Structures are given as structure tokens and as C-alpha cells.
Amino acid sequence: MGDGSEKIITIKNVSFSYNAECILEDINLSVSRGDFLAIIGPNGSGKTTLLKLVLGLLAPQKGRVRVFGHAPSRVSDRIGYVPQQLNFRPDFPVTVINVVLLGLVSSRVKGWRFTRHEQERAREALGQVDMLGYQDRRISELSGGQLQRVIIARALVSRPSLLLLDEPTSNIDAQGQFCFYEFLGELNKSISIVIVSHDIHIVSTRVTSVACVNKNLYYSPRPELTREMLALLYGEHDKNCPASAALAEMLERFSVGRKDS
Amino acid sequence: MIEALSYDFMQHALAAGILAGIACGIIGSLVVVNRLVFLSGGIAHTAYGGVGLAFFMGWPVLPCTIGFTLSASLIMAVITQRLPERVDTIIGVMWAAGMAFGIILLDITPGYNVDLMSFLFGSILAVPASDLWIMLGLDIIILCVVLLFYKDFLAMSFDRDFARARGVPVMILNIVLLAMTAVSVVMIIRVVGLILVIALLTIPPYLAERHVSSLGKMMVAAALWSILFCCIGLYISYQFNITSGASIIACASVCFFGVFMYETIAKRLLNARQ
């Protein structure tokens, strides 16, 4: 689980507001090498904001974010990022391999060509996600699931030590999701992973720790949901409220001591 | 047509069409994939303020308009980055303000300004050699910048957040792109006029985008479409004595609707067969 091993992400007393609305309040979180952390929370809970703080796309108004001991923007080479899919137009005129190559673009190297070595690495990354046969297709010809794999190859091509994914399964069907989480589980043998999702069932995949975000953050070093987390996600409910029974059942299913299937 | 080419003004017109077409292809493609069409419309109309300023002060028109439009585009870039949720409103305001500024300055300029209409509808048949040299210089600058930062422009156009996460200087690139758009818009105004500038900046990239596999090829194809429209439009304009700017755009529009209808019908037929 990475206890006692090197901390690769440390978030200390971080607060972030947007237009005077507080999105995240006094967040503390650390991720160790080898972790597979799921950050769950409802829509608008600040989980994507938290991910963008780790990426250095946003700067916290209070507190400090360190990745590999540095400011996030200084270590962008070591972070692989899988954004929410609708960030781009699927009909953009670009081939599969060129999308993957964009994962190697950096502020230092200029010019209009990618080197033979870079092309080789892009093919390697496409092989990792089983999309090698599609390298010269235009992305508009791909299905949602195939496109998702290309986007993951783009994140993997720079051989990152940390992979950050934002709602990666929204365009994948149930069966595909199962394969996808297994795939991430295999990747986790060599890469630390942080995945953001609104789906609490992610707890029953191969994640090793869970954080619940809804302005505040609760962390569990095991793949389980605690009573506090459920309260954070769904609010406190009176005993007579039907939600209370449902929450109790959820707690049963997603807490420690649950039967591993 | 051959005897027409022996005239100086016709040679200049063809050269202007080709030079503007190159800029249209490169910048128009970036404008279309970055969804900056409305913003370039704003820049085009703000340019009118530059024209007014040039006439009022008695300065040379092309350099003055380029300078004015460039400053306006930089202001737009800064404001749109500070207030992203207000982009369309701000563009609308600058669009109208630039136009009004230009008209007022022209109104209070003494004397009758024959050249005014040419900036609304283009004056490709009256491009002096000095303007051609300026256009060539700007084309070379645009080409160099885009070649040097091609990967960064591609990354930014495709997925801004990812590009930023990779350390691509998206903010600076955005300013550079708007500046190049401003320069191209002024160049295209020379050819087809202010009113029609958007058509030449969007139709060729649209036609180019459908079947190419990369942004670079889209730029080349769009430039070729632009040059083709300019040549055919010029020919029609010469043969039938029609305003050149309008005939260039008419030619592009007919092509656009033709392709659009052909594709819609072809898709229907394909679906019907299945």
C-alpha cells in the first residue's frame, strides 16, 4: 500500500475558491509511490479542481501542492494526464499516432516534426493499450472506447511515474469498464495512479486507497468507504428517511471486512 | 484571360490573391479548429478603426491598420484570458466600438474618401507593389512562426488543458495566434474587403478539413482552395465586370454549398442502401 514509502504527492492545507465560492477547503492528502488512489465525489464537489491543482493547471489560494517534491509545473514530464474526454472535438483532423505523439510535446523542443525515436515510443504506447493497428486512422473513425485508449496511450507515452485520470470511464460500457480497471490494476505494478470518479463502485476495483471529496476531504488508506465519507457524499439522514437504509447497506458493501469477490 | 495577365494590375491582383490565400490557409485553419471565427470577425471589424485612424492622421493605410488591429487583438487576448466566461460579449463590444471609431474618424476627415468602399469590399485590382512586399513579408513571418511552433499549436488546438499540463505555453501561443490572425485579417481585407473577410477565413478551412489527416495538410489544402477561389473570382470579375471581392466570395460560397449538399445527399443515399 506504500505505507512509509516515498510520498509523491503532498497536499497541505490547500483551499481553492472560484468567484468567491469556496470549492475546496483545507485539504490535506498525500499519495505514496505505488498507490492506486480513487478520489470520489458528486458532480461539482471539487474533485476535478483537486486534480487540476496536482497538475499545476490551477494554483491554490492557500496551502501548498508538491509533486515529487517540486511545484507541479516543474515535473510535468513525470505526470501522465487523462482529461475528461469532451475536452476536444472528436472530428479534429489528426491521426491516432499524432494524438499519442502530443504526449511528448514539451516547452523545450521546437519544430514541426516528431523524431523517429518519438514515433517508435508512440507505437510502443499504442501497443500497451492494444491499438497498434489503428495508428494511421483519423480519430473521427474510432469508437468512444477506442478513443479513450488512445488518450491513455497519450498519457503513457512519456513514461510517467504518476498517472492522473479524470472520469475516464464515462464513455465506456459496463463490460469495458471492468477490463479498463483490470488494465489500470496491471499498470499500477509500475506506476502510481490517481483516478477521479463520481461512481462509488470504483471502490470495489483494484484501487488501494480512497479519498472522498465534497469541499472537504476524507481519506481512507484502504479501499473502503467509511460512515464519514458517505455522510460527506450523501449528507446526514434521519433514521426514518428511506435513504438511511440505503446508506447502511452501502456501508456494509463498501467497508472493510466486506467479502472480497 | 491571357491578355488580361499582361496588365500590371492583373499580375498584382493574382499575386495578392496567392499571398492572401497562403495566410488564409494557415491562419484560417487555426482559427477554425480553435473556434475563433467570431473573434476574427471582431478583429476584422475593429480593423476599420485603424483605417479611419490612418485617413484621419494621413498615415499610410496598410501599416497603420496592421498596427491598430494588432493592438486591438492583443487587448482582446488579454481580456478573454482574464474573463473567459465573458468572451463573446467583449468581442461584440470591440466589434461595434472599432467600427464606430473608424466611421467617426472618417466623418471628421476633410475631403471625399474614394478609398472607403475599397476597404469594405476589397480592392484586389488596385494593390500597389509596396503592399505586395508587405504581404510577402507577413506571409514569411506567419509561415516561420507556425513551422517553429507547429507541435505546440497542434497540442493547444487539440486539447488546451492537456497542452498546459505538458508545459506548453498556451497563454503566449494564444496571444501569438490572435496577433497573426489580426495581421492576416488586414491582408485579406485588402483582397476581399472587410465585409467578406470571414468567408475567406472559414470556407477554405472547412472544405480542407473534411478529408485531411493532419492540421498541416489542412493548412496546405485550405491555402490551395483560397488561391483557387481568388483566381476563379478574379477571372469572373474581369470577364463580367463584377466587384472582385464579391465574386471571389460568391465563388467560395457556391463551392461550399455544392460540397455541403453533395455530402448530405451522398450520406442519405448511403444510408438508404444499407
- What is the domain partition of chain B in residue ranges? 3-273
Average pLDDT over chain B reads: 88
Average pLDDT over chain A reads: 85
- How do A192-197 and A162-166 pair as beta strands? parallel
- How do A21-32 and A36-40 pair as beta strands? unpaired
- By CB neighbour count within 10 A (0-12 exposed, 13-18 middle, 19+ buried), where does A5 fall? exposed
Is B162 in contact with A107 (Cβ distance < 8 A)?
no
Query: What percent of chain B stands above pLDDT 90?
Result: 41
As a whole number of angstroms, the longest Cα–Cα distance in chain B is: 69
Residue with grid cell 479524470, as numbered in its chain: A166
Per-residue pLDDT, averaged over B82-97, amounts to: 86
Q: What is the CA radius of gyration of chain B?
A: 19
Which residues in B lie closer than 8 A to residue A92 (C-beta atoms)?
33, 157-158
The amino acid at A120? E
Q: Decide which of B3 and B35 is more confident.
A: B35
Between chain A and chain B, how many beta carbons pairs sit less than 8 Å apart?
89
Q: What is the pLDDT of residue A261?
A: 39
Q: Which residue in chain A is spatially nearest to B159 when comparing CA positions?
A: A88
A119 touches chain B (CB under 8 A): no
Which residues in B lie closer than 8 A to residue A162 (C-beta atoms)?
none
Range with lowest mean pLDDT among A17-31, A106-120, B129-143, B243-257? A106-120
Q: What is the pLDDT of residue B1?
A: 60
A159 touches chain B (CB under 8 A): no
Q: What is the pLDDT of residue B265?
A: 92
Alpha-carbon distance B190 to B126, whole Å? 9
Collapsing DSSP to helix, strand or coil, A10 comes out as: strand
Which residues in A lie closer than 8 A to residue B162 (C-beta atoms)?
81, 83, 87, 102, 154
The number of residues making up chain B comes to 274
Alpha-carbon distance B122 to B176, whole Å? 26
Q: What is the pLDDT of residue B103?
A: 86
Q: What is the dihedral of CA B261, B267, B268, B269, to 10 degrees?
A: 110
Preferred mutation among B85, B148, B162 to probe A, highest tally of A CBs within 10 A? B162
Residue B144 burial (CB count, 10 A): 10
- Written as nine digits, the cell of B46 is 475593429
pLDDT tens track for B182-226? 988 888 887 778 777 888 889 999 999 988 999 999 999 999 999
ipTM over 0.90: no
- What is the distance in angstroms between the Cα of B115 and the nearest Cα belonging to chain A? 40
> What 8-state DSSP symbol labels residue B126?
G
Q: What is the pLDDT of residue A1?
A: 43
Q: Which residue in chain B is spatially nearest to A53 when comparing CA positions?
A: B165
Per-residue pLDDT, averaged over B146-154, amounts to: 93
Residues of chain A with pLDDT under 50: 1-3, 259-261
> What 8-state DSSP symbol labels residue A87?
G
Is B162 in contact with A76 (Cβ distance < 8 A)?
no
pTM of the model: 0.86
Distance from chain centroid for Cα A116: 30
Is B151 in contact with A56 (Cβ distance < 8 A)?
no
Collapsing DSSP to helix, strand or coil, A9 comes out as: strand
Q: Which helix (H) or strand (E) holds A67?
A: strand A62-67
Per-residue pLDDT, averaged over B2-11, amounts to: 80
Q: Which residue in chain B is spatially nearest to A73 when comparing CA positions?
A: B167
Specify the CATH number of the domain B3-273.
1.10.3470.10
Residue with grid cell 509511490, as numbered in its chain: A33
Q: How far is CA B182 from CA A61, B70, B194, in A?
A: 35, 6, 12
Alpha-carbon distance A105 to B156, whole Å? 10
Residues 71 to 100 of A: which have CB under 8 A from any B CB?
73, 76-77, 79, 81, 83, 87-89, 92-95, 98-99
Task: Answer yes or no: are the C-beta atoms of B9 and B126 closer than 8 Å.
Answer: yes
Range with lowest mean pLDDT among A33-42, A103-112, B160-169, B258-267? A103-112
Choose among A57, A88, A105: nearest Cβ to B152: A105
Is B166 in contact with A76 (Cβ distance < 8 A)?
yes
Alpha-carbon distance B22 to B220, whole Å? 8
Q: What is the pLDDT of residue B112?
A: 61
pLDDT at B155 over 60: yes
Alpha-carbon distance A236 to A82, whole Å? 33
